[in-house]
Chains A and B, each alone.
Chain A
Amino acid sequence: MIRLYFKVARSNFSSIAIYLCIFSFIFVFYSMSTKSDNNTNAYVEEKESIAIMDYDQSETSKELISYLESTMDVPSSIGDTLEEKKDAMFYGQISSIVEIPEDFESVYNQDMDTDIKVLERENSANGIILKQKVSTFLNNASMLMKTDSSLNMHEASLLVQKNLSSKADMVMQIDDNQDKLNAFRNSFFNYASYILMAIIIMVVGMAMMNIYQVEIMRRNLIAPVSSTKMNIQLIFANIIFGSIIWAILSCLIIFLCKENMFNVNGAMYLLNLYIFTIVCITISFFISSLLFNKQSGMGALNAIVNILSLGSAFLCGAFVPQAMIGENILRFAQFLPSYWYIKTSDMLTASFDETLLKESLCNMGIMALFGVVFVLLALYVMKQKRSQDSFLSSGDVE
């Protein structure tokens, strides 16, 4: 049976390869887009990113821009036009856009209120620092020029910037870098739940659907092997296949998070992922038993895979953290194994102790229970379908 399973899997190699390649690429691309290169333990000021449009092009506006560039992050790669800058703001790459109006210098020199426009996203609180910095610079420069009328804007700006070296002493009380590495590792394992579920259900389902073809089943049923033994061998073959996929994904994650995988939490993560793999296999086993002897079975399998993998990923927190998902949605998500996998994964960002071990094992136990339920359901469905006359008489295969 195991040999037959892998023979069938080989005959579907092209589809399996397509899925593996596409999802592996998605996984690697995701890792590249989230990779953090911050390896220091010291406090790092999260400089607010802004963009500036200078319509005045005066000495005062240039001095203001130079001040903002030295105190904030003004990325140059986001383009020159207002539309490109608005685009970057929409996608969260910058928090605000400062628009310096044409008559800015003349209004400022007359000691009147200027109308520098700070464009922010709806309900955004990010502009506080920017507003504080602009006001401080303009106030101080104005005060300096009033006090000493021989100073021009450039000299006043230099004097204001001279004081920038005075800074409060920032003290980190805990190892923040470890937190970041943990969060980075966690995001991989959470995302892996989507990739793993999609690949396992699709690939295992595909192999099972082929084995469950009427002609092949007829041949198998006349063999001197009991139905239970056959099913156990099938489950065993699936576990071998799932283990291979788990090993590939685990190696990929270990390679990408190598600095934070060789510890107890790392091992717990891999165990959690392995149990999830087994649960996905049982789900796939159950789905293929439902689709047994059905027309358009492959199409249905495709549909179920996408709904189940994307749906679980969205509802259980693989793409968006569980902390940001509404309570009612999470209550519903508890009926899905991905919820318990991601919950354990999130818990493992904390440092390892006995309570964490107990809670993680408890969650893994709940996941395993899902697996047992799916296997029992699959065996029940198969038993029902094998006893139907239609199985032996129909050639109902597409």
Chain B
Amino acid sequence: MRHLCKYRFLQIIRNRFTLFWTLIFPIILMTFFSLVLSSAYEFQPYETLTIAMVDNDAYQQNVTLKDTLNQVENNGIKLFDVKETTKQNAQEMLVNKEVSAFVEVDDTIHVNINSSGMDETIIQTFFDTYLQQSDFITTLLEKGANPSEVNALFTETKSYIESEHEENSDFSSVSFYTCLAMSAINGAYLMLKAMYESQANQSGKAARVCIAPTHKLKTLLSNMFVTMLTQLVILLIQVFYLQMVLNVSFGDSLVPVLVLLSCAALAGNGIGVVVGSNFPKFRMDNKVSIVSGVSVFLSFLSGMMSLPIKWLVAQYAPFVALINPCNMITDGLYALYYFGIGERYYINLISLLIFSLLCFMIGYFSLRKKQYQWLEAR
């Protein structure tokens, strides 16, 4: 057993191809993520919107609107920077994107815009509210309210709301988790190679191994143990790189991260066992293509190329999310980061264990009691 483990380990570390896929490639990908996503997913703090007001009599006479436009604020930042100008100028400013909208007041308020977006909605909400409040004041005065109290409605300071910003809500962190998940699934390459070298109908080396008086389960277990341990070390190096070099947070404690990654390494090897022990007519290259394609596809479904896809899959195809090991790893890490240790983390952990167990069972039943009448020389 000790010898089996030792030589499997030596084979792994001498194989540049598998080491590249499991160790180097994810690190390169993480670096790409860090270069691009850090600025792309950064939330821009609120900035004052510039609007142009058409300088006509109706606007000049509406003192309440002028005052409100100049006073209204959000968290101490002025909501609008108002440019008073002629209609023609205002139109030009809108075309040249110098202002988000130009507004003309007559018997009602006309807001001219160039697109539908959040800025336009904020502007619309402000002017809608202004008009609704004006109507509301008429209703109040009809009911006999005191005009001085009514005026205070526009500058009401009573606080109804307490704003709270979520901590640990860095969107880009999940992208790094998908990378780590892909790396764990790429552990399948290690196991694929081990399977290739332990089935007599796959390679000459395997034919020699198979006639040795060693139980197949023993070979499988030693392969599994070494590849899993190697994969775990690789994942730890990547976690270290993410945390120390790229400053990616994993929540409060690293211990549950390590537990999850151990299960992830097991699941990655499980995929290698399934692909390696089946498809006997496929060449090693074809099997590598299968693992490579499956790993990219599973990573895509867990949000690697576009994060909202992870959420969409969980919402509209929960079964797919439930059986996708990449999603289990990503979601487990995300749950730890965003919610801390809890039910969701454990569900992902157990799902990974069940997935791995199924894979190893498939592998074991495909390999047991296999006999060959003749073998092609390879």
Interface, chain A (partner B; CB < 8 A): 14-15, 18-19, 22, 25-26, 29-30, 33, 43-48, 77-78, 83, 86-93, 108, 113-129, 131-136, 138-140, 143-144, 147-148, 159-160, 162-164, 166-174, 176, 179, 194, 296, 298-300, 302-303, 306-307, 310-311, 313-315, 319-321, 324-326, 329
* Residue B40 is within 8 A (CB to CB) of chain A in the complex: yes
* Residue B216 is within 8 A (CB to CB) of chain A in the complex: no
15 CB-based A-B contacts, threshold 8 Å: A15-B289, A43-B116, A87-B311, A91-B307, A123-B43, A125-B44, A125-B74, A132-B126, A135-B156, A135-B160, A147-B145, A148-B143, A172-B113, A302-B292, A325-B36
In the bound complex, residues from chain A placing their C-beta under 8 Å from that of B217 are none
In the complex, are the beta carbons of B118 and A126 less than 8 A apart? yes
Instruction: Give which listed residue, A15, A48, A90, A135, contacts B169 with CB less than 8 A.
Output: A90
* Residue B45 is within 8 A (CB to CB) of chain A in the complex: yes
Instruction: Give which listed residue, A91, A129, A319, contacts B310 with CB less than 8 A.
Output: A91
In the bound complex, residues from chain B placing their C-beta under 8 Å from that of A134 are 160-161
Among the interface residues B140, B160, B334, which one has the most CB atoms of the partner chain A within 10 A?
A: B160
Distance of A230 Cα from B161 Cα, bound (Å): 75
In the complex, are the beta carbons of A118 and B163 less than 8 A apart? yes
Bitwise interface map of B from 95 to 136 toward A, beta carbon under 8 Å scored 1, else 0: 100000000000011111111111011101111111111111
Stretch at the interface among B20-28, B220-228, B361-369: B20-28
Question: 19 other contacts beyond A46-B116, A120-B164, A166-B134, with CB at 8 A cut-off?
Answer: A43-B116, A44-B116, A86-B166, A86-B338, A91-B310, A91-B311, A115-B161, A116-B162, A125-B74, A133-B125, A140-B136, A163-B133, A163-B135, A172-B113, A173-B112, A174-B115, A179-B115, A302-B289, A310-B29
In the complex, are the beta carbons of A118 and B164 less than 8 A apart? yes
Distance of A171 Cα from B21 Cα, bound (Å): 55
In the bound complex, residues from chain A placing their C-beta under 8 Å from that of B246 are none
Distance of A90 Cα from B41 Cα, bound (Å): 12
Instruction: Give which listed residue, B37, B44, B117, B163, contacts A127 with CB less than 8 A.
Output: B163
User: In chain B, what residue has the closest Cβ to A327?
Assistant: B39
- 5 A-B pairs with least C-beta separation: A125-B46, A168-B127, A91-B311, A299-B17, A123-B43
In the bound complex, residues from chain A placing their C-beta under 8 Å from that of B344 are 83
Bitwise interface map of B from 309 to 349 toward A, beta carbon under 8 Å scored 1, else 0: 11110010000000000000000001000110000100000
In the bound complex, residues from chain B placing their C-beta under 8 Å from that of A321 are 40
In the complex, are the beta carbons of B46 and A116 less than 8 A apart? no
**Contact of A147 with B140 at beta-carbon distance under 8 Å, contacts A123-B43, A170-B124 already known:** yes
**Contact of A26 with B300 at beta-carbon distance under 8 Å, contacts A118-B162, A122-B165 already known:** yes
In the complex, are the beta carbons of A319 and B44 less than 8 A apart? no
In the bound complex, residues from chain B placing their C-beta under 8 Å from that of A320 are 36-37, 40
In the complex, are the beta carbons of B114 and A303 less than 8 A apart? no
Distance of A252 Cα from B296 Cα, bound (Å): 21
B: contact size bracket: 35 or more
In the bound complex, residues from chain A placing their C-beta under 8 Å from that of B338 are 86-87, 90
Distance of A314 Cα from B38 Cα, bound (Å): 12
Instruction: Give which listed residue, A33, A123, A176, contacts B312 with CB less than 8 A.
Output: A33
* Residue B357 is within 8 A (CB to CB) of chain A in the complex: no
Instruction: Give which listed residue, A47, A117, A144, A307, contacts B143 with CB less than 8 A.
Output: A144
In the bound complex, residues from chain A placing their C-beta under 8 Å from that of B109 are 168-169
* Residue B149 is within 8 A (CB to CB) of chain A in the complex: yes
Instruction: Give which listed residue, A47, A314, A326, contacts B33 with CB less than 8 A.
Output: A314
Instruction: Give which listed residue, B20, B28, B128, B290, contacts A311 with CB less than 8 A.
Output: B28
A182 to chain B, nearest CB (A): 12
In the bound complex, residues from chain B placing their C-beta under 8 Å from that of A14 are 282, 286, 289
Distance of A310 Cα from B338 Cα, bound (Å): 27
Instruction: Give which listed residue, A43, A83, A123, contacts B165 with CB less than 8 A.
Output: A123
Instruction: Give which listed residue, A26, A48, A118, A128, contacts B297 with CB less than 8 A.
Output: A26
In the complex, are the beta carbons of A90 and B39 less than 8 A apart? no
* Residue B305 is within 8 A (CB to CB) of chain A in the complex: yes
In the bound complex, residues from chain B placing their C-beta under 8 Å from that of A114 are 159-161
In the complex, are the beta carbons of B43 and A171 less than 8 A apart? no
B149-176 at interface with A (beta carbon < 8 Å)? 149-150, 153, 156, 158-167, 169-171
Distance of A159 Cα from B129 Cα, bound (Å): 15
In the complex, are the beta carbons of A132 and B125 less than 8 A apart? yes
Instruction: Give which listed residue, A46, A93, A113, A123, contacts B117 with CB less than 8 A.
Output: A46
In the complex, are the beta carbons of A168 and B110 less than 8 A apart? yes
B112 to chain A, nearest CB (A): 5
Distance of A220 Cα from B28 Cα, bound (Å): 39
Distance of A126 Cα from B43 Cα, bound (Å): 10
In the bound complex, residues from chain A placing their C-beta under 8 Å from that of B144 are 147-148
Distance of A16 Cα from B132 Cα, bound (Å): 62
In the complex, are the beta carbons of B124 and A168 less than 8 A apart? yes
Instruction: Give which listed residue, A29, A118, A168, contacts B131 with CB less than 8 A.
Output: A168
**Contact of A163 with B117 at beta-carbon distance under 8 Å, contacts A88-B311, A91-B307 already known:** no
**Contact of A311 with B32 at beta-carbon distance under 8 Å, contacts A14-B286, A173-B94 already known:** yes
In the complex, are the beta carbons of B145 and A143 less than 8 A apart? yes
In the bound complex, residues from chain A placing their C-beta under 8 Å from that of B164 are 117-120
In the bound complex, residues from chain B placing their C-beta under 8 Å from that of A26 are 296-297, 300, 305
Among the interface residues B45, B74, B112, B293, which one has the most CB atoms of the partner chain A within 10 A?
A: B293
A211 to chain B, nearest CB (A): 15
User: In chain A, what residue has the closest Cβ to B37?
Assistant: A320
**Contact of A122 with B46 at beta-carbon distance under 8 Å, contacts A117-B162, A168-B111 already known:** no
